[in-house]
Protein backbone atom coordinates (compact mmCIF):
# COMPACT_ATOMS: atom_id res chain seq x y z
CA UNK A 1 0.00 0.00 0.00
CA UNK A 2 1.13 3.53 -0.76
CA UNK A 3 2.57 4.77 2.54
CA UNK A 4 1.24 8.26 1.80
CA UNK A 5 -2.33 7.05 1.33
CA UNK A 6 -4.72 8.68 3.79
CA UNK A 7 -8.08 8.66 1.99
CA UNK A 8 -10.11 6.46 -0.37
CA UNK A 9 -12.85 8.17 -2.35
CA UNK A 10 -15.72 6.32 -3.98
CA UNK A 11 -16.71 8.82 -6.59
CA UNK A 12 -20.29 7.92 -7.40
CA UNK A 13 -23.18 5.65 -6.51
CA UNK A 14 -22.17 3.33 -9.36
CA UNK A 15 -18.89 2.48 -7.64
CA UNK A 16 -20.60 1.07 -4.56
CA UNK A 17 -23.83 -0.37 -5.96
CA UNK A 18 -25.29 -1.58 -9.25
CA UNK A 19 -28.19 0.83 -9.60
CA UNK A 20 -28.23 1.84 -13.27
CA UNK A 21 -30.94 -0.60 -14.34
CA UNK A 22 -33.09 0.21 -11.30
CA UNK A 23 -32.66 3.91 -12.02
CA UNK A 24 -33.73 3.40 -15.64
CA UNK A 25 -36.83 1.42 -14.62
CA UNK A 26 -37.69 4.08 -12.06
CA UNK A 27 -37.59 6.84 -14.67
CA UNK A 28 -39.81 4.87 -17.03
CA UNK A 29 -42.36 4.14 -14.30
CA UNK A 30 -42.39 7.85 -13.40
CA UNK A 31 -42.96 8.80 -17.06
CA UNK A 32 -45.85 6.35 -17.28
CA UNK A 33 -47.54 7.43 -14.04
CA UNK A 34 -47.29 11.10 -15.00
CA UNK A 35 -48.49 10.44 -18.57
CA UNK A 36 -45.30 11.54 -20.32
CA UNK A 37 -44.87 9.92 -23.72
CA UNK A 38 -41.31 8.85 -23.07
CA UNK A 39 -39.42 5.58 -22.65
CA UNK A 40 -35.69 5.11 -22.08
CA UNK A 41 -34.28 1.81 -23.35
CA UNK A 42 -30.98 0.39 -22.12
CA UNK A 43 -28.84 1.55 -25.03
CA UNK A 44 -30.20 5.09 -24.91
CA UNK A 45 -29.93 5.31 -21.15
CA UNK A 46 -26.28 4.31 -21.28
CA UNK A 47 -25.63 7.26 -23.59
CA UNK A 48 -27.51 9.52 -21.18
CA UNK A 49 -25.21 8.46 -18.34
CA UNK A 50 -22.49 10.49 -20.01
CA UNK A 51 -24.37 13.53 -18.68
CA UNK A 52 -24.10 13.70 -14.86
CA UNK A 53 -27.30 14.45 -12.95
CA UNK A 54 -30.80 13.02 -13.26
CA UNK A 55 -32.48 16.38 -13.77
CA UNK A 56 -30.09 17.25 -16.59
CA UNK A 57 -30.97 13.97 -18.31
CA UNK A 58 -34.68 14.69 -17.97
CA UNK A 59 -34.18 18.16 -19.49
CA UNK A 60 -32.21 16.80 -22.42
CA UNK A 61 -33.92 13.50 -23.21
CA UNK A 62 -37.67 13.73 -22.55
CA UNK A 63 -39.88 16.26 -24.36
CA UNK A 64 -38.95 19.56 -26.04
CA UNK A 65 -39.17 22.67 -23.88
CA UNK A 66 -39.94 20.77 -20.70
CA UNK A 67 -40.49 23.12 -17.77
CA UNK A 68 -38.51 23.12 -14.55
CA UNK A 69 -41.69 22.21 -12.65
CA UNK A 70 -42.20 19.17 -14.87
CA UNK A 71 -38.55 18.16 -14.46
CA UNK A 72 -38.86 18.37 -10.68
CA UNK A 73 -42.12 16.43 -10.67
CA UNK A 74 -40.62 13.59 -12.71
CA UNK A 75 -37.43 13.54 -10.68
CA UNK A 76 -39.22 13.52 -7.32
CA UNK A 77 -41.51 10.66 -8.33
CA UNK A 78 -38.59 8.75 -9.82
CA UNK A 79 -36.73 8.98 -6.50
CA UNK A 80 -39.76 7.66 -4.61
CA UNK A 81 -40.04 4.69 -6.97
CA UNK A 82 -36.28 4.11 -6.85
CA UNK A 83 -36.31 4.03 -3.04
CA UNK A 84 -38.94 1.28 -3.16
CA UNK A 85 -37.20 -0.81 -5.82
CA UNK A 86 -33.71 -0.88 -4.32
CA UNK A 87 -35.05 -2.44 -1.13
CA UNK A 88 -36.13 -5.47 -3.15
CA UNK A 89 -32.71 -6.40 -4.61
CA UNK A 90 -29.11 -6.96 -3.52
CA UNK A 91 -27.38 -4.09 -5.28
CA UNK A 92 -24.04 -3.87 -3.47
CA UNK A 93 -20.76 -4.24 -5.33
CA UNK A 94 -18.85 -6.82 -3.28
CA UNK A 95 -15.41 -5.28 -3.82
CA UNK A 96 -16.68 -1.95 -2.53
CA UNK A 97 -17.71 -3.62 0.73
CA UNK A 98 -14.27 -5.25 1.05
CA UNK A 99 -12.37 -2.04 0.31
CA UNK A 100 -14.58 0.00 2.63
CA UNK A 101 -14.02 -2.24 5.65
CA UNK A 102 -10.30 -2.71 4.93
CA UNK A 103 -9.87 1.06 4.64
CA UNK A 104 -11.59 1.72 7.96
CA UNK A 105 -9.55 -1.02 9.65
CA UNK A 106 -6.41 0.65 8.27
CA UNK A 107 -7.42 4.03 9.74
CA UNK A 108 -7.91 5.56 6.30
CA UNK A 109 -10.57 8.16 5.66
CA UNK A 110 -13.33 7.04 3.32
CA UNK A 111 -15.53 9.32 1.27
CA UNK A 112 -18.51 9.03 -1.06
CA UNK A 113 -17.98 11.94 -3.43
CA UNK A 114 -21.19 12.17 -5.42
CA UNK A 115 -23.31 14.94 -6.88
CA UNK A 116 -26.55 13.01 -6.43
CA UNK A 117 -29.41 14.07 -4.14
CA UNK A 118 -29.52 13.59 -0.39
CA UNK A 119 -32.67 11.52 -0.86
CA UNK A 120 -30.80 9.11 -3.13
CA UNK A 121 -28.07 8.76 -0.52
CA UNK A 122 -30.63 8.02 2.18
CA UNK A 123 -32.28 5.34 0.03
CA UNK A 124 -28.92 3.76 -0.74
CA UNK A 125 -27.90 3.83 2.91
CA UNK A 126 -31.02 1.92 3.86
CA UNK A 127 -30.55 -0.61 1.05
CA UNK A 128 -26.93 -1.34 2.07
CA UNK A 129 -27.33 -1.12 5.85
CA UNK A 130 -26.62 -4.83 6.37
CA UNK A 131 -23.22 -4.42 4.68
CA UNK A 132 -22.03 -0.87 5.40
CA UNK A 133 -22.96 1.77 7.95
CA UNK A 134 -23.05 5.06 6.08
CA UNK A 135 -22.29 6.88 9.33
CA UNK A 136 -18.80 5.40 9.04
CA UNK A 137 -18.05 7.45 5.93
CA UNK A 138 -15.81 10.38 6.84
CA UNK A 139 -17.46 12.50 4.17
CA UNK A 140 -20.48 12.15 1.89
CA UNK A 141 -21.19 14.85 -0.66
CA UNK A 142 -24.36 15.60 -2.64
CA UNK A 143 -25.52 18.01 -5.32
CA UNK A 144 -25.78 20.70 -2.63
CA UNK A 145 -22.01 20.67 -2.10
CA UNK A 146 -20.92 22.15 -5.43
CA UNK A 147 -21.98 24.57 -8.13
CA UNK A 148 -20.34 22.72 -11.01
CA UNK A 149 -21.07 19.06 -11.83
CA UNK A 150 -18.44 16.51 -12.78
CA UNK A 151 -16.16 16.47 -14.77
CA UNK A 152 -15.45 19.78 -13.05
CA UNK A 153 -13.09 18.94 -10.14
CA UNK A 154 -14.85 21.28 -7.66
CA UNK A 155 -16.53 18.52 -5.63
CA UNK A 156 -13.23 16.67 -5.17
CA UNK A 157 -11.30 19.78 -4.23
CA UNK A 158 -13.96 20.61 -1.65
CA UNK A 159 -13.77 17.08 -0.24
CA UNK A 160 -9.98 17.18 0.05
CA UNK A 161 -10.17 20.47 1.90
CA UNK A 162 -12.93 19.24 4.21
CA UNK A 163 -11.07 16.14 5.42
CA UNK A 164 -7.65 17.76 5.33
CA UNK A 165 -5.70 15.64 2.87
CA UNK A 166 -3.72 16.57 -0.23
CA UNK A 167 -4.39 15.07 -3.70
CA UNK A 168 -1.27 12.87 -3.49
CA UNK A 169 -2.62 11.34 -0.26
CA UNK A 170 -5.89 10.15 -1.81
CA UNK A 171 -7.14 7.68 -4.37
CA UNK A 172 -10.46 7.93 -6.22
CA UNK A 173 -12.58 5.18 -7.74
CA UNK A 174 -14.99 6.27 -10.49
CA UNK A 175 -17.41 4.38 -12.72
CA UNK A 176 -17.43 6.47 -15.92
CA UNK A 177 -14.91 8.41 -17.99
CA UNK A 178 -16.86 11.63 -17.36
CA UNK A 179 -16.70 11.24 -13.59
CA UNK A 180 -13.09 10.08 -13.77
CA UNK A 181 -12.25 13.38 -15.42
CA UNK A 182 -13.22 15.20 -12.23
CA UNK A 183 -10.86 13.27 -9.95
CA UNK A 184 -8.01 13.44 -12.46
CA UNK A 185 -8.50 17.20 -12.82
CA UNK A 186 -8.21 17.41 -9.02
CA UNK A 187 -4.79 15.69 -9.34
CA UNK A 188 -5.97 12.57 -7.49
CA UNK A 189 -4.67 9.13 -8.43
CA UNK A 190 -7.75 7.55 -9.99
CA UNK A 191 -9.11 4.13 -10.96
CA UNK A 192 -11.85 3.52 -13.52
CA UNK A 193 -14.23 0.91 -12.11
CA UNK A 194 -17.25 0.66 -14.47
CA UNK A 195 -20.31 -1.35 -13.64
CA UNK A 196 -23.16 -3.27 -15.20
CA UNK A 197 -23.64 -1.06 -18.26
CA UNK A 198 -19.98 -1.02 -19.28
CA UNK A 199 -20.58 -3.11 -22.39
CA UNK A 200 -23.00 -0.50 -23.69
CA UNK A 201 -20.99 2.61 -22.90
CA UNK A 202 -17.85 0.99 -24.32
CA UNK A 203 -16.00 1.01 -21.03
CA UNK A 204 -14.29 -2.27 -20.30
CA UNK A 205 -15.37 -4.06 -17.15
CA UNK A 206 -12.49 -4.25 -14.67
CA UNK A 207 -10.38 -7.39 -14.96
CA UNK A 208 -8.48 -6.54 -11.78
CA UNK A 209 -9.25 -7.02 -8.11
CA UNK A 210 -10.02 -3.64 -6.57
CA UNK A 211 -8.47 -4.56 -3.22
CA UNK A 212 -5.22 -5.57 -4.90
CA UNK A 213 -5.21 -2.50 -7.13
CA UNK A 214 -5.57 -0.08 -4.21
CA UNK A 215 -3.66 -1.80 -1.43
CA UNK A 216 -1.29 -4.02 -3.42
CA UNK A 217 -2.16 -7.06 -1.31
The CATH number given to 7-17+92-215 is 3.40.50.1000
For the chain, the domains span 7-17+92-215, 20-88
DSSP string of the chain, one letter each residue: --TT--EEEE-SGGGTB--HHHHHHHHHHHHHHTT------HHHHHHHTTS-SHHHHHHHHSSTT--HHHHHHHHHHHHHHHHHHGGGS--B-HHHHHHHHHHHHTT-EEEEE--S-HHHHHHHHHHTTTT--GGG-SEEE-GGG-SS-TTSTHHHHHHHHHHT--GGGEEEEESSHHHHHHHHHTT-EEEE---TTTTTTTPPPP-S-HHHHHH--
Tell which CATH architecture fits domain 20-88: Orthogonal Bundle (1.10)
pTM above 0.85, yes or no: no
Instruction: Show pLDDT as tens, one digit a residue, over the chain (217 residues).
Output: 567 999 999 998 889 999 889 999 999 999 999 999 999 999 888 888 877 778 889 999 998 999 999 999 999 999 999 989 988 888 989 899 999 999 999 999 999 999 988 988 998 999 999 999 999 999 999 989 999 989 999 999 999 999 999 999 999 999 888 899 999 999 999 999 988 775 544 545 555 788 888 987 4
Amino acid sequence: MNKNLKAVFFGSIGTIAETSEIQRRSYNLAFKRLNFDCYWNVANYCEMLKIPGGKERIKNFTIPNISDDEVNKIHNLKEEIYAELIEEEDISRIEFVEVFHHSKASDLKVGLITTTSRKNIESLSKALEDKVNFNDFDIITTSKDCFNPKPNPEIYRNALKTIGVSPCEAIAIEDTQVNLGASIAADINSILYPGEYSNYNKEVKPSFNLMERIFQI
